[in-house]
């Protein structure tokens, strides 16, 4: 019996054979993220049912020097769980999905790491509560643990920051199979005190599971705010948009704040709405309107914006205003209008933020472009004052490479989003190609089927990945940082010697054999 066979036999004994999956196609899918396949394929997918089973599985893997790649919803494009060793297992946390405790008085929730943001949102909503940051756009699949490990952003981020900013307590499985708690939780006291000595929990945020596998988290909660107010504006120039985004930092109660460029508008316009989706949208909007007539009016606005206005705009800016008291919304909206009007912005129908919030978590359709294209993003985070330089550098690169891009039918859309005081600039590449395994596995079948037999275009694909690297390089050179690192963005070797020493010491303490997600954050890929 080989070492791999023995490990799998031991895992089956511990968990039951139904929790150890060896199907070749499944293993390939679990080794591939948005950016494509990994250099190796995991030998099995292990699906523990609780933290003790997870810890036991890690202990078995360690005894045989088998790498462990923890995986949540799989929405990484940074190689966050990619298999880089020939002996590795994927650790699927999706069955660690319980909402363990909701405390209204102390305002915290204890939730297992494999719970989706959608699942947490629904559980809290039943009790009139919500997390301040309450998930990325992919929250129907993205998990709590995955977002803390990759540091997600979006819903609530303009006001409350990143997913990692919200954590009050953590339970972690280390690389030996030991379970540890951090925060005030680790003392056996109240689990949701914001500070209890040095903030060790932060070390595990954005680590991609390299320092420990998250099993539970303590998050703050708040009462669901009154009905939000929505607003959208158009801008004709980069400088005006970025000036408005910077000004919005001084206004309270902006829950989400994001912008699309002209090419992104064309993608939205090309996507359209099916009859079924339009009916669903009308029903959802009716819930936020005083009458069905109001909902119908909003739907007409959606059609008008999509077909007649949106595709002609250089930039659109969208926001959700969400104060704790309904009477505070109007003053904030008026202040927004003054700030934006002073910078040349003009108001447009607010359909995009309205529809985005009508049902925050939807089946993921963004992985396939409107014409069946592949989709590949990158990003950089800037202080508001530095964002103009970053965007200008990106624009210059795209002008320089425009001819080559046109030759291969590659286009780039831009998303800019506010996260606290930061601005995320996210270029997204689209090009015609055969669908990837990831696209097939994670997109609705009805979206996959029309493009099932699209021909492979390796030259376009090669140029797209080259462009992604070039865009990442110019954004980083302009002073941008990254919030999600995985195996794509540099980290460890860029640290000062003292900080790197502390990091390495923590890694040695938590994962002495280097089995936890080798290769992320710049740690060695080979144990």
Domain boundary among 27, 61, 95: 95
- The mean pLDDT of 444-461, rounded to a whole number, is 94
Q: What share of the chain in percent tops pLDDT 90?
A: 78
Nearest CA-CA partner of 268 in 307, 214, 322? 307
Q: Is residue 151 domain-shared with residue 215, that is, in the same domain?
A: yes
pLDDT category at 186 given cuts 50, 70, 90 is confident
Q: Is residue 41 domain-shared with residue 122, that is, in the same domain?
A: no
- Burial zone of 396 (CB within 10 Å; 0-12 exposed, 13-18 middle, 19+ buried): exposed
Q: Which residues of 472-485 are buried (b: 16+ CB within 10 A; e: fewer)?
A: bebbbebbbebbbb
pLDDT value, residue 4: 77
Indicate if the pLDDT at residue 380 is higher than 90.
Answer: yes
Q: Is residue 153 domain-shared with residue 44, that is, in the same domain?
A: no
pLDDT value, residue 319: 97
Q: Is residue 84 domain-shared with residue 191, that is, in the same domain?
A: no
Indicate if the pLDDT at residue 30 is higher than 50.
Answer: yes
- The mean pLDDT of 115-139, rounded to a whole number, is 96
pLDDT value, residue 103: 96
- The mean pLDDT of 117-126, rounded to a whole number, is 97
477-496 pLDDT, tens digit per residue, is 999 999 999 999 989 999 99
Q: How far apart are CA 91 and CA 47, in angstroms?
A: 6
Indicate if the pLDDT at residue 272 is higher than 70.
Answer: no
Q: Is residue 376 domain-shared with residue 327, that is, in the same domain?
A: no
Own/partner pairs, 519-522, CB within 8 angstroms, 24+ separation: 519/79, 519/82, 519/84, 519/487, 520/79, 520/80, 520/207, 520/208, 520/209, 520/210, 520/485, 520/486, 520/487, 521/207, 521/208, 521/210, 521/485, 521/491, 521/492, 522/490, 522/491, 522/492, 522/493, 522/494
283-325 pLDDT, tens digit per residue, is 444 444 444 444 445 544 554 444 446 778 999 999 999 999 9
pLDDT value, residue 297: 52
- The mean pLDDT of 371-383, rounded to a whole number, is 95
pLDDT value, residue 278: 41
Confirm whether 490 is domain-assigned. no
∠ CA 294-295-298, rounded to 5° = 90
Confirm whether 357 is domain-assigned. yes
Q: Where are the beta strands (DSSP E) in 374-513?
A: 374-377, 380-383, 411-419, 422-431
Q: Show the tokens assigned to 487.
A: 């195996």
Read off the CATH number of the domain in which 374 is found: 3.30.300
Confirm whether 419 is domain-assigned. yes
Read off the CATH number of the domain in which 45 is found: 3.30.43.10
- The mean pLDDT of 221-232, rounded to a whole number, is 96
Confirm whether 391 is domain-assigned. yes
Q: Is residue 134 domain-shared with residue 219, that is, in the same domain?
A: yes
230-259 pLDDT, tens digit per residue, is 999 999 999 999 999 999 989 999 999 999
14-23 pLDDT, tens digit per residue, is 999 999 999 9
390-417 pLDDT, tens digit per residue, is 999 999 999 999 999 999 999 999 999 9
Read off the CATH number of the domain in which 113 is found: 3.30.465.10
Q: Is residue 47 domain-shared with residue 140, that is, in the same domain?
A: no
- The mean pLDDT of 492-507, rounded to a whole number, is 96
Indicate if the pLDDT at residue 276 is higher than 50.
Answer: no
Q: How far apart are CA 431 and CA 425, in angstroms?
A: 20
Half-sphere exposure of 78 (CA within 13 A, CB side): 30
Confirm whether 374 is domain-assigned. yes
pLDDT value, residue 416: 98
pLDDT value, residue 298: 54
pLDDT value, residue 527: 58
Q: Is residue 72 domain-shared with residue 54, that is, in the same domain?
A: yes
- Report the domain count for the chain: 4
- The mean pLDDT of 62-88, rounded to a whole number, is 92
Confirm whether 257 is domain-assigned. yes
Confirm whether 493 is domain-assigned. no
Q: Is residue 88 domain-shared with residue 134, that is, in the same domain?
A: no
Q: Is residue 211 domain-shared with residue 304, that is, in the same domain?
A: no
Q: Is residue 356 domain-shared with residue 368, that is, in the same domain?
A: no
Domain, as residue range, for 106: 99-223
Indicate if the pLDDT at residue 66 is higher than 90.
Answer: yes
Q: What share of the chain in percent tops pLDDT 70?
A: 91
160-180 pLDDT, tens digit per residue, is 999 999 999 999 999 999 999
pLDDT value, residue 286: 44
Question: Any alpha helices (H) in 431-494, and if so which ranges?
Answer: 437-442, 445-448, 458-477
Tell me what the pLDDT averaged over the chain comes to.
90
Write out 91-141 in H/E/C secondary structure: EECCCCCCEEEEECCCCEEEEECCCEHHHHHHHHHCCCEECCCCECCCCCC
pLDDT value, residue 307: 47
DSSP of 53-93:
HHHHHHHHHHHTT-EEEEESS---SS-TT---SSSEEEEE-
Own/partner pairs, 397-403, CB within 8 angstroms, 24+ separation: 397/470, 397/471, 397/474, 401/467, 401/470
Domain boundary among 223, 247, 269: 223
Q: Is residue 367 domain-shared with residue 476, that is, in the same domain?
A: yes
Confirm whether 495 is domain-assigned. no
**Whole-model pTM above 0.85?**
yes
pLDDT category at 383 given cuts 50, 70, 90 is very high
pLDDT value, residue 99: 98
The dihedrals phi and psi of 127, each to the nearest 5 degrees, come to: -110, 15
Q: Which residue has the tokens 């280097």?
A: 514
Q: How far apart are CA 443 and CA 362, in angstroms?
A: 11
- The mean pLDDT of 336-357, rounded to a whole number, is 93
- The mean pLDDT of 39-66, rounded to a whole number, is 96
- Burial zone of 63 (CB within 10 Å; 0-12 exposed, 13-18 middle, 19+ buried): middle
Domain boundary among 164, 197, 223: 223
Indicate if the pLDDT at residue 277 is higher than 70.
Answer: no
pLDDT value, residue 287: 47
């Amino acid at each position: 019996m080989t070492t791999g066979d023995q490990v799998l036999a031991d895992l089956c004994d511990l968990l039951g054979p139904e929790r150890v999956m060896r199907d070749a196609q499944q293993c390939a899918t679990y080794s591939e993220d948005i950016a494509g396949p990994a250099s190796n394929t995991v030998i099995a997918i292990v699906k523990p049912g609780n933290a003790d089973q997870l810890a036991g599985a890690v202990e078995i893997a360690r005894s045989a020097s088998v790498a462990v790649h923890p995986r949540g919803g799989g929405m990484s494009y940074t190689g966050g769980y990619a298999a880089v060793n020939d002996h590795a297992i994927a650790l699927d946390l999706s069955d660690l999905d319980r909402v363990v405790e909701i405390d209204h008085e102390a305002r915290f929730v204890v939730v297992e790491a494999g719970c989706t943001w959608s699942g947490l949102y629904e559980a809290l909503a039943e009790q009139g509560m919500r997390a301040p940051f309450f998930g990325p756009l992919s929250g129907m699949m993205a998990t709590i643990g995955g977002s803390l490990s990759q540091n997600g952003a979006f819903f609530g981020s303009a006001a409350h920051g990143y997913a990692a900013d919200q954590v009050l307590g953590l339970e972690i499985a280390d690389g030996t199979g030991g379970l540890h708690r951090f925060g005030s939780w680790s003392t056996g006291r109240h689990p949701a005190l914001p500070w209890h000595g040095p903030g060790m929990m932060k070390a595990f945020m954005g680590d991609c599971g390299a320092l420990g596998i998250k099993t539970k988290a303590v998050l703050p909660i708040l009462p669901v705010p009154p009905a939000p107010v929505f607003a959208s504006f158009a801008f004709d120039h980069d400088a005006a948009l970025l000036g408005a985004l910077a000004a919005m930092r001084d206004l309270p109660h902006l829950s989400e704040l994001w912008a699309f460029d002209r090419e992104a508008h064309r993608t939205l316009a090309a996507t359209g709405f099916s009859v079924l989706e339009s009916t669903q949208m009308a029903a959802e909007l009716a819930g936020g309107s005083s009458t069905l007539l109001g909902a119908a009016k909003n739907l007409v606005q959606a059609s008008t914006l999509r077909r007649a206005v949106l595709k002609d705009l250089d930039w659109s800016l969208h926001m959700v205003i969400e104060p704790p008291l309904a009477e505070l919304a109007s003053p904030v909206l008026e202040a927004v209008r003054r700030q934006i009007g002073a910078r040349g912005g003009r108001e447009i129908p607010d359909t995009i933020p309205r529809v985005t919030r009508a049902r925050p978590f939807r089946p993921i359709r963004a992985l396939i472009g409107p014409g069946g294209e592949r989709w590949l993003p990158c990003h950089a985070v800037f202080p508001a004052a530095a964002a103009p330089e970053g965007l200008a550098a990106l624009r210059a690169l795209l002008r320089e490479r425009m001819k080559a891009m046109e030759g291969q039918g590659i286009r780039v859309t831009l998303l800019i989003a506010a996260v606290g005081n930061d601005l995320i600039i996210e270029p997204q590449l689209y090009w015609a190609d055969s669908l990837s395994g990831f696209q097939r596995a994670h997109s609705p079948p009805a979206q996959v089927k029309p493009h099932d037999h699209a021909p492979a275009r390796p030259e376009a694909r090669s140029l797209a990945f080259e462009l992604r690297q070039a865009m990442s390089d110019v954004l980083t050179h302009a002073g941008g940082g990254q919030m999600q690192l995985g195996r794509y963005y540099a980290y460890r070797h860029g640290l000062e010697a003292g900080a790197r020493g502390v990091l390495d010491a923590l890694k040695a303490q938590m994962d002495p054999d280097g089995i936890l997600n080798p290769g992320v954050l710049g740690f060695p890929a080979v144990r």
